Structure 1
Amino acid sequence: MSVLVLQRLPLAAFPYPRWLAEYDGEVVVLAAAAAMDGVAPARGYPVLETFTDFDHPRVLRRAREEIAARSITHVIAHHEADVGRAAALREEFGLAGAYPADVVPFRDKLIMKARAMRAGIEVAPHSVPRSSAEAVRFATAHGFPVVVKDRAGFSSIGLRIVRDRAELAGIEFGDVLLEAFVPGRMCHVDGVVAAGKTALAWPSQYQYDLASFGSDTGARVDVTLDADDPLTGRLLEFTDRTLAALTGDGTSRLRDYAFHAEVFHTPDDRLVLCEIACRPAGAKVRDVLRSLFDADPAEYATRAQLGLPLPALEQAMLAGELPRPRAMGGQVLTMKRPGLVRSLPARPAEDWVQRFWVYAEPGQLIPPAAGSSDFLTAAVATAPTRAECERRLRDLGARIVAETDIVDETDIVAETDTLEAASC
């Protein structure tokens, strides 16, 4: 009995040997080379093989070889790009867990929205236009702006908010989704399903626009909702209905997984599904939930798939309830932007800062953010209430921005030219 892990995300944040200390089997890891920063080679793994191109067919060939050679019973994948690959391997070898048909409703946004609508869940008006003319007709009917996204996209990569007819006419359409723009604040609900029942879930609210990752030079705050917030219960119930719509026909093999749901709260107080994924949240949401529940969704989804207990959730599960957070929490993020890094903030000294990360070094020339999870800095903080947590995060974010100095490449060239001219 062994488990195969397809690891595209940083392995240092997924310490499988510690998570699965009582697991009576081997943990075999096939990882993207980029996932290996900060990981001692082969430490704790009988096989830890890396690939420069994790999308190359050789990855699945090696996966098949390991499944056949090591009596592997489970395949684990926590990245959106690998959920379907893991499901295909399970079906091919008759292994436990979800098959492709079970995860497609979470990966294909068109199918997702169709299932949700049949269950009475509101989604944005949408279309899959085959030409610019069809796209223009859709925008004429629903108004600008409109949103263009990949049907199977993630991390806001390729997402565009199109604000006029000329820009829309210049897009090449094929198998992409076009949606009417939904005004309001984006909320998200994150948690774990074990044995087909929600074992952990809590809502948060982005205080920024996800799609602005490429241009946002400020602090991006995301904070949990108080237990007595009128939205909290509504979002939890909305998410449960959505999960049931995508898995509740009685045939789904998807029963143990983490989820990340994004839901619009409109100015007229409606909840509208943006999308939902059957994998742990990105950014630092896992760290936020760990600070509130002592439970990491990725760890607990892994343990649930292998039939291991979920210690921090057992009492609530026995009572048929969801656990309550011991505090409020959130994250403040800054995005990479192109230029030469001259200075970065030091780790904050406040005891309410749970964790802090910096993803560059002074003297480094960095590119722009490639997606909504391509951070320059990140911090997780807690507080007794949502209002106090948001205040702390905003103050911390302002300080981080003030202590960050990145010089644009064009300014570097101009500065060099000035120095050279002065030295002549």
Structure 2
Amino acid sequence: MSVVIVHRNPLEPFPYHRWLHDYEGPVVILAARDRFEPFGERIPEGNLGYTHLELFDHDDEVAGRVAHLAAEYGATHLIGEHEADVLRVAELREELGLPGPRPADVLPFRDKALMKEHAARAGVEVAPHTVPKTGEDVLDFAGVHGFPLVFKNRAGFNSIGLRILRDQDALTDFIAEAYGSPRDDLLLEAYVPGRMCHVDGLVVNGEMVLAWPSQYQYELASFGTDPGSRVDLALDPGDPLTGRLLELTERTLAALRGPGGGPRDHAFHAEIFHTPDDRLVLCEIACRSGGGKIREVFHTLFGVNLAESSIRAQLGLPLPDLERAVRPGKRPVPARMAGQVLMMKRPGLIRALPDVPGEPWVEHFWLFAQPGQVVPPASGSADFLTVVVASAPTRAECERRLRSLGARLEEQVLIEAVPS
């Protein structure tokens, strides 16, 4: 028994040595070199206690290195938890004859057009959308649905490349930029107003065994222009949206699972609009744990790390944290509320950053830069400058604490423009 893990994150949030302490075979990690320094980690040297750890610099190296490492260490499992790796790892499993989800299992979670097709067929509301091959197709859709319009990559993540076009001039410019020739990699959607909710949880043996909804108190797509603090907050068990969001997510998972029943063991992150007229509209869903610090918020709620549990389930290891959180016949509810407040990176020279918060209800605190550093703009919705995870007995108190911390973050962060 041995596992090869394709890793495209810093290592601090993924302590595999602790998560897999009872795994009896070799643990081999192939990690992206460029994921460390931007998140304040040193590039690893040596194996860090793993059987083997090596770094890759370019995506085209991954397939060959995985095949080599799988053969060298007799891999029985291949795992990749980052959105950019989910489909590729499934393809490699199929090529190497290893167990786990195949491309057909994960494609509905990666291709947003296919995802919406499956969901809509199951009665889950999605935004009007199309895959426009030409600029004329775009204009036809705009003529029917008007503005704003939303463009995203069919296989995108972290809001990278997402564009919201609000008028005809912006649309004309985008068509000139994007449609020099026919293409089919973009999804065009009608804009859905309302607040974005997200549901995070775990599927084990094909069943949604643990899940909970939260709500972004900001627009994800504003990551590049928002200089202030942003709050993301779990919903109360008694919130009228809580049960509806959980039910919609369960139906969506069933719709995407398909006749083959896969994938069987995975975390998930669903994003769902709650519209001003009280509709729930699926934005998208991924078959991996939520990015940013959603895993840490969820752990504060339930004592379960979704990435850890997902990986252990895929390897057939016991899930003691999950067993403590789930009682047969009862829907698990958090013992306390939790959320996060964050600030995005913005370009300039960092003069000052926040002090470590001393409140006892602060669960985690991170800084992803240091004074004197020149930082670029945020490259995606998880490119943070600082994040705090906090808890409270109630949602209202948790929100009060997070907003107070957010105001303090704003006061303590000082970034100056770099002279040109």
- TM class by shorter chain equals over 0.9
Residue 346 of structure 2: aligned partner: 337
Once the 2 structures are TM-superposed, how far is the Cα of residue 35 of structure 1 from its aligned partner?
3.6
Of 39, 42, 46, 1:41 maps to 46
Residue 221 of structure 1: aligned partner: 231
Residue 240 of structure 2: aligned partner: 230
Instruction: Please report the TM-score for the alignment, with normalisation by the length of structure 1.
Output: 0.94
Once the 2 structures are TM-superposed, how far is the Cα of residue 191 of structure 1 from its aligned partner?
0.7
From the CA coordinates, give the structure whose radius of gyration is larger. Answer: 1
1:193 aligns with 2:200: no
Residue 422 of structure 1: aligned partner: none
Work out the CA distance in 2 between the residues paired with 1:275 and 1:295.
23
Residue 262 of structure 2: aligned partner: 253
1:277 aligns with 2:282: no
Once the 2 structures are TM-superposed, how far is the Cα of residue 104 of structure 1 from its aligned partner?
0.3
Residues 132 and 168 in structure 1, CA contact (< 8 A), matched pair in contact too:
no
Work out the CA distance in 1 between the residues paired with 2:134 and 2:168.
13
Aligned partner letter, 1:91:
E
Residue 165 of structure 1: aligned partner: 168
Aligned partner letter, 2:407:
A
Once the 2 structures are TM-superposed, how far is the Cα of residue 371 of structure 1 from its aligned partner?
0.5
Q: Residues 261-300 of structure 1: matches in 2 within 5 Å? A: 261-300=270-309
Q: Residues 297-308 of structure 1: matches in 2 within 5 Å? A: 297-308=306-317
Deviations 1:57-80 (A, max 9, x none): x22101001112222111111110
Work out the CA distance in 1 between the residues paired with 2:97 and 2:327.
31
Deviations 1:24-77 (A, max 9, x none): 111100001134425563112111000122x12x22101001112222111111
Residues 10 and 34 in structure 1, CA contact (< 8 A), matched pair in contact too:
no
Instruction: Please report the TM-score for the alignment, with normalisation by the length of structure 2.
Output: 0.95
1:182 aligns with 2:205: no
Aligned partner letter, 2:152:
K
Work out the CA distance in 2 between the residues paired with 1:179 and 1:165.
15
Once the 2 structures are TM-superposed, how far is the Cα of residue 315 of structure 1 from its aligned partner?
4.8
Gaps of 5+ in 1: 414-424
Of 301, 311, 314, 2:320 maps to 311
Work out the CA distance in 1 between the residues paired with 2:353 and 2:393.
29
SS at match of 2:12: helix
> Does 65-74 or 369-378 show the bigger shift?
65-74
Once the 2 structures are TM-superposed, how far is the Cα of residue 317 of structure 1 from its aligned partner?
4.7
Work out the CA distance in 2 between the residues paired with 1:141 and 1:223.
36
Work out the CA distance in 1 between the residues paired with 2:326 and 2:264.
15
Residue 143 of structure 1: aligned partner: 146
Residues 47 and 53 in structure 2, CA contact (< 8 A), matched pair in contact too:
yes
SS at match of 1:387: helix
SS at match of 1:72: coil
> Does 99-108 or 32-41 show the bigger shift?
32-41
1:89 aligns with 2:92: yes
Residue 135 of structure 2: aligned partner: 132
- 1:194–1:371 Cα change, 3 Å: same
Work out the CA distance in 2 between the residues paired with 1:95 and 1:185.
41
Once the 2 structures are TM-superposed, how far is the Cα of residue 131 of structure 1 from its aligned partner?
2.0
Residue 16 of structure 1: aligned partner: 16
Residues 313 and 323 in structure 1, CA contact (< 8 A), matched pair in contact too:
no
Aligned partner letter, 2:47:
A
Of 207, 211, 222, 1:212 maps to 222
Once the 2 structures are TM-superposed, how far is the Cα of residue 316 of structure 1 from its aligned partner?
5.5
Once the 2 structures are TM-superposed, how far is the Cα of residue 321 of structure 1 from its aligned partner?
3.8
Work out the CA distance in 2 between the residues paired with 1:46 and 1:321.
41
1:408 aligns with 2:413: no
SS at match of 1:13: coil
Of 67, 76, 79, 2:79 maps to 76
Give runs of ≥4 in structure 1 deviating > 4 Å.
315-318
Residues 206 and 261 in structure 2, CA contact (< 8 A), matched pair in contact too:
no
- 1:198–1:405 Cα change, 3 Å: same
Once the 2 structures are TM-superposed, how far is the Cα of residue 132 of structure 1 from its aligned partner?
2.0
Residues 316 and 322 in structure 1, CA contact (< 8 A), matched pair in contact too:
no
Of 326, 329, 333, 2:335 maps to 326
Work out the CA distance in 1 between the residues paired with 2:148 and 2:388.
32
Residues 157 and 372 in structure 1, CA contact (< 8 A), matched pair in contact too:
yes
Of 364, 372, 377, 2:373 maps to 364
SS at match of 1:179: strand
Aligned residues: 408
Residues 119 and 255 in structure 2, CA contact (< 8 A), matched pair in contact too:
yes
Work out the CA distance in 2 between the residues paired with 1:396 and 1:315.
31
Residues 98 and 252 in structure 1, CA contact (< 8 A), matched pair in contact too:
no
Aligned partner letter, 1:14:
F
SS at match of 1:241: helix
Aligned partner letter, 2:127:
A
SS at match of 1:80: coil
Work out the CA distance in 1 between the residues paired with 2:284 and 2:390.
26
> Does 372-381 or 136-145 show the bigger shift?
136-145
Work out the CA distance in 1 between the residues paired with 2:200 and 2:269.
5
Residue 27 of structure 2: aligned partner: 27
SS at match of 1:139: helix
Gaps of 5+ in 2: none
Aligned partner letter, 1:214:
G
Work out the CA distance in 2 between the residues paired with 1:150 and 1:86.
20
